[in-house]
C-alpha cells in the first residue's frame, strides 16, 4: 500500500495519459489510461491526453486513431488533448518542438547539458568495446568538456550535434514514489542521456519532463517499466529548477503463470477485445482491478462506484495477474445484466459480421429480439452468438449427420424415428396458439404414446429442428422458429429407409 504522502488535498489534480502511437493500445497499457482517468474523475480533476510522437521511426499508421477509438469505447473521455483542445495545445509532441528546443537551450546555457558531436560509428565502436570487456554500454562523455576550439572543427564540418544531459558523476538521486516509497539510484550508474536528437526531435525524457511541467501535471501515473527512467526525469527537473510532479508507478501485469503478459495469455489490443465480443463495462471493471481493489473481495464494481472509491492508497506494489477466464466470467455477468433489447442491439452487429455468408442480411431485428432471451444466460462473449443461433436464421436445409439425428435409440431402427417425426408433425400442424406452452402440451404426452422416453423424443426433434444435439430449450426454440420453419425441418429430417 502507499507508503508516501499522496498530497492531494487542496491541489487540483491534473493527470495525463501519454501514449506513443506505435500501434493499437494494448490492454496493459490502457490500464494506465484508466487509472489516470479514475484519479481525475474521483478528484474532480483534469484528464489530459497527450500523444508522444517524437520517435518518428516508430510511429505506426492509424495508431493515433486507434488510441482515440480505444479510449472512447471504454468511455475514458479526455478534458484536454487532441480533438478537444485545451489551454496547452497542441497536444501532439511533434507539434511542440519549439518548447523542447528552448528548454534544451536553457539547459546548455546553464551548463546542465552539452552538444555531442560523436558519430554513430564512434558510438557503435565504443559500445562494442565495452561489451567485449563485459561492461555496461555507456557514453564515455568525450564531448562533455570540449573546449571552444575543439568544437569548431565538427561545427565547421556541419556535423549536427545531439544534446546530452550532464548527469552528476557522483551522489544519489532519490525518487519519491507514491506506491513504492523512496527509490534511490546511484548517479554513476546513469548515462549522459540524449535529450535532443540530431534531427531536432527531443527524446522521450526531455519531452515528457517539459510537457509535464508546462501542462501543470500534478501526478504521473504510469507503468512500472518507467521506474528506471525516473531518476533522469528527477535530475532534469532539478536542473531546470522546477518542482517535479508526484510519481506513482503502477504494478506490472503478469499472466497467471507469472510470466510477462503476452498474447498467449489472451491479452491483446483493446480493439481486439471489442472484436472478440467483450463489453466495455466488463473490460473497464476487469482492468480497474489490475493493481487496485475496493476491499480485496468485491469483483463486480460499476463505473460509478470505481469513480466514487478510487484512491492511490489502495494501489498495490505486487504484480497484478491478468486472468482471461476471470474477464470472460465478468463479461458473462455484464451480458446477463443487460436489458434484452440492448443486448439485441449489440448482437445484431456481431451476427451480421459472423453468421455464415449464406445467411441473408440484414437480419430481421424483431426476430432477433425474440431469440436473445434464449441465449442471454448462455453466452459469455457476444461473438459466441453466431455459432449458437445460426440455425434460427438459415433458410435452406440444415446440415447434420444421420448419427446425430438418430442417436443411440434409433440408430438401428430409423423407421421408428421417421414415424415419430411424422406423428409430431401431425400433432402440431394446426396447433393454436403456436407458443411454448401449447407445443409442450402437444409433444410431451406423445413420448408415452410412442413408447419413448421424453429425452429420446426431444433429442430427435431437437436435431431435426436445430441441426444440433445441444441448443436452447426445445419448446421455446420451436416457438421462436415459427410454425412454417419447424414443420419444414421436421419433414426434411424424416429418415426414409
Ligand atoms: N510515451 C510513453 C509511453 O508510451 C509515456 C510514458 C510516461 O507516461 O511517462 O508509455
Residue identifier of the C-alpha nearest atom 5 of ligand 1: 18
Residues 169 and 207 in one domain: yes
Does residue 222 have its Cβ closer than 6 Å to ligand 1? yes
Structural domain boundaries enclosing 128: 97-250
Residues 333 and 467 in one domain: no
Does residue 18 have its Cβ closer than 6 Å to ligand 1? yes
* Ligand 1 centre distance from Cα of residue 279 (Å): 26
Across-strand partners of 202? 196
Residues 322 and 462 in one domain: no
Q: Report the share of the chain in percent with pLDDT over 90.
A: 95
Residues 175 and 199 in one domain: yes
Catalytic, out of 263, 297, 317, 453: 263
Peptide bond just before 90 cis, omega within 30 deg: yes
Residues 124 and 234 in one domain: yes
- The answer to whether position 61 is within a domain reads no
* CATH number of the domain encompassing residue 486: 1.10.10.350
Q: Would you say the pTM of this structure is higher than 0.85?
A: yes
Atom of ligand 1 nearest to the CA of 19: 4
Residues 317 and 412 in one domain: no
* Ligand 1 centre distance from Cα of residue 222 (Å): 7
Does residue 19 have its Cβ closer than 6 Å to ligand 1? yes
- The answer to whether position 27 is within a domain reads no
- pLDDT at residue number 7: 60
- The answer to whether position 167 is within a domain reads yes
- pLDDT at residue number 3: 42
Residue identifier of the C-alpha nearest atom 10 of ligand 1: 19
- The answer to whether position 287 is within a domain reads yes
Residues 137 and 238 in one domain: yes
* Ligand 1 centre distance from Cα of residue 67 (Å): 13
pLDDT tens per residue, range 161-190: 999 999 999 999 999 999 999 999 999 999
Atom of ligand 1 nearest to the CA of 52: 1
- The answer to whether position 193 is within a domain reads yes
* CATH number of the domain encompassing residue 107: 3.40.50.620
Last residue of a domain, one of 185, 216, 250: 250
CB 167, CB 192: distance < 8 Å? yes
DSSP conformation letters of 366-404: HHHHHHHHHHTTT-SSTTHHHHHHHHHH--S-----HHH
Atom of ligand 1 nearest to the CA of 16: 8
- pLDDT at residue number 232: 98
Residues 229 and 316 in one domain: no
Average pLDDT value for the chain = 95
Long-range CB pairs of 393-398 (<8 Å, 24+ gap) are: 393/351, 393/355, 393/359, 393/360, 393/363, 393/367, 394/358, 394/359, 394/467, 395/359, 395/360, 396/358, 397/492, 398/466, 398/467, 398/489
Residues 152 and 183 in one domain: yes
- pLDDT at residue number 495: 76
Look up residue 293 and give its three cell numbers. 481493489
Across-strand partners of 184? 174
Residue identifier of the C-alpha nearest atom 8 of ligand 1: 222
- The answer to whether position 418 is within a domain reads yes
Last residue of a domain, one of 337, 357, 384: 337
In angstroms, the CA 442 to CA 226 distance is: 69
| Active-site residue flag, 263 | yes
In angstroms, the CA 29 to CA 63 distance is: 14
Atom of ligand 1 nearest to the CA of 32: 8
- The answer to whether position 31 is within a domain reads no
Mutate which of 16, 20, 50 for ligand 1 pocket (most atoms within 8 A of beta carbon)? 20
Residues 231 and 308 in one domain: no
pLDDT tens string, the chain, 497 residues long: the values are 444 455 666 779 999 999 999 999 999 999 999 999 999 999 999 999 999 999 999 999 999 999 999 999 999 999 999 999 999 999 999 999 999 999 999 999 999 999 999 999 999 999 999 999 999 899 999 999 999 899 999 999 999 999 999 999 999 999 999 999 999 999 999 999 999 999 999 999 999 999 999 999 999 999 999 999 999 999 999 999 999 999 999 999 999 999 999 999 998 999 999 999 999 999 999 999 999 999 989 999 999 999 999 999 999 999 999 999 999 999 999 999 999 999 999 999 999 999 999 999 999 999 999 999 999 999 999 999 999 999 999 998 999 999 999 999 999 999 999 999 999 999 999 999 999 999 999 999 999 999 999 999 999 999 999 999 999 999 999 999 999 999 999 999 977 65
Q: Count of domains in the chain?
A: 4
Mutate which of 175, 212, 215, 222 for ligand 1 pocket (most atoms within 8 A of beta carbon)? 222
- pLDDT at residue number 2: 43
Spell out the residues 6+ positions from residue 473 whose beta carbon is closer than 8 angstroms to its own.
Answer: 374
Does residue 70 have its Cβ closer than 6 Å to ligand 1? no
Does residue 25 have its Cβ closer than 6 Å to ligand 1? no
Residues 408 and 446 in one domain: yes
Look up residue 255 and give its three cell numbers. 499472466
- The answer to whether position 103 is within a domain reads yes
Mutate which of 226, 234, 252 for ligand 1 pocket (most atoms within 8 A of beta carbon)? 226
Last residue of a domain, one of 314, 337, 360: 337
Does residue 52 have its Cβ closer than 6 Å to ligand 1? yes
* Ligand 1 centre distance from Cα of residue 93 (Å): 12
* Ligand 1 centre distance from Cα of residue 180 (Å): 19
Residues 104 and 234 in one domain: yes
In angstroms, the CA 275 to CA 151 distance is: 57
- pLDDT at residue number 474: 97
How does strand 320-321 pair with strand 162-165?
unpaired
* Ligand 1 centre distance from Cα of residue 301 (Å): 28
Amino acid at each position: 500500500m502507499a507508503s508516501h504522502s499522496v498530497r492531494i488535498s487542496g491541489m487540483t489534480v491534473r493527470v495525463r495519459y501519454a501514449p506513443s502511437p506505435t500501434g493499437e493500445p494494448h490492454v496493459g497499457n490502457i490500464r494506465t489510461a484508466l487509472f489516470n482517468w479514475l484519479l481525475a474523475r474521483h478528484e474532480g480533476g483534469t484528464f489530459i491526453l497527450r500523444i508522444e510522437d517524437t520517435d518518428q521511426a516508430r510511429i505506426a499508421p492509424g495508431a493515433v486513431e486507434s488510441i482515440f477509438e480505444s479510449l472512447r469505447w471504454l468511455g475514458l473521455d479526455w478534458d484536454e488533448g487532441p480533438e478537444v483542445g485545451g489551454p496547452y495545445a497542441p497536444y501532439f509532441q511533434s507539434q511542440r518542438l519549439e518548447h523542447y528546443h528552448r528548454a534544451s537551450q536553457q539547459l546548455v546555457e546553464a551548463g546542465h547539458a552539452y552538444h555531442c558531436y560523436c558519430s554513430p560509428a564512434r558510438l557503435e565502436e565504443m559500445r562494442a568495446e565495452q561489451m567485449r570487456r563485459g561492461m555496461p554500454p555507456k557514453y564515455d562523455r568525450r564531448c562533455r568538456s570540449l573546449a571552444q576550439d575543439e568544437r569548431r572543427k565538427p561545427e565547421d564540418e556541419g556535423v549536427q550535434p545531439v544534446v546530452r544531459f550532464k548527469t552528476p558523476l557522483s551522489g544519489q538521486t532519490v525518487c519519491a514514489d507514491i506506491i513504492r516509497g523512496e527509490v534511490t539510484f546511484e548517479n554513476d550508474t546513469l548515462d549522459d542521456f540524449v535529450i535532443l536528437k540530431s534531427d531536432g526531435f527531443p527524446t522521450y525524457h526531455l519531452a515528457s519532463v517539459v510537457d509535464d511541467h508546462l501542462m501543470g501535471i500534478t501526478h504521473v501515473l504510469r507503468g512500472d517499466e518507467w521506474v528506471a527512467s525516473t531518476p533522469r526525469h528527477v535530475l532534469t527537473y532539478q536542473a531546470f529548477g522546477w518542482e517535479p510532479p508526484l510519481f506513482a508507478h503502477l504494478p506490472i501485469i503478469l499472466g497467471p503463470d507469472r510470466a510477462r503478459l503476452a498474447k498467449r495469455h489472451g491479452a491483446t489490443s483493446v480493439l481486439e477485445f471489442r472484436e472478440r465480443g467483450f463489453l466495455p463495462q466488463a473490460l473497464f471493471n476487469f482492468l480497474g482491478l489490475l493493481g487496485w481493489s475496493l476491499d480485496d473481495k468485491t469483483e463486480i464494481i460499476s463505473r460509478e462506484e470505481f469513480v466514487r472509491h478510487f484512491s492511490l492508497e489502495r494501489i498495490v506494489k505486487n504484480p497484478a495477474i491478468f486472468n482471461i477466464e476471470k474477464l470472460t466470467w465478468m463479461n458473462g455477468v455484464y451480458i446477463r445484466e443487460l436489458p434484452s433489447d440492448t443486448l439485441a442491439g449489440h448482437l445484431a452487429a456481431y451476427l451480421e459480421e459472423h453468421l455464415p455468408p449464406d445467411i441473408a442480411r440484414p437480419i430481421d431485428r424483431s426476430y432477433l429480439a425474440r431469440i436473445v432471451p434464449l441465449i442471454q444466460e448462455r453466452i459469455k462473449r457476444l461473438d459466441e452468438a453466431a455459432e449458437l443461433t445460426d440455425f434460427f436464421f438459415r433458410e435452406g436445409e440444415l446440415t447434420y449427420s444421420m448419427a446425430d439425428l438418430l442417436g443411440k435409440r434409433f440408430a438401428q431402427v430409423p423407421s421408428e424415428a421417421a414415424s415419430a417425426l411424422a406423428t409430431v408433425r401431425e400433432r402440431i400442424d394446426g396447433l393454436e396458439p403456436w407458443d411454448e406452452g401449447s407445443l409442450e402440451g402437444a409433444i410431451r404426452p406423445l413420448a408415452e404414446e410412442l413408447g419413448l422416453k421424453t429425452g429420446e423424443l426431444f433429442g430427435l426433434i431437437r436435431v431435426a429442428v436445430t441441426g444440433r444435439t445441444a441448443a436452447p430449450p426445445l419448446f421455446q426454440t420451436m416457438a421462436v422458429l415459427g410454425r412454417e420453419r419447424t414443420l419444414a425441418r421436421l419433414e426434411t429430417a424424416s429418415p426414409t429407409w
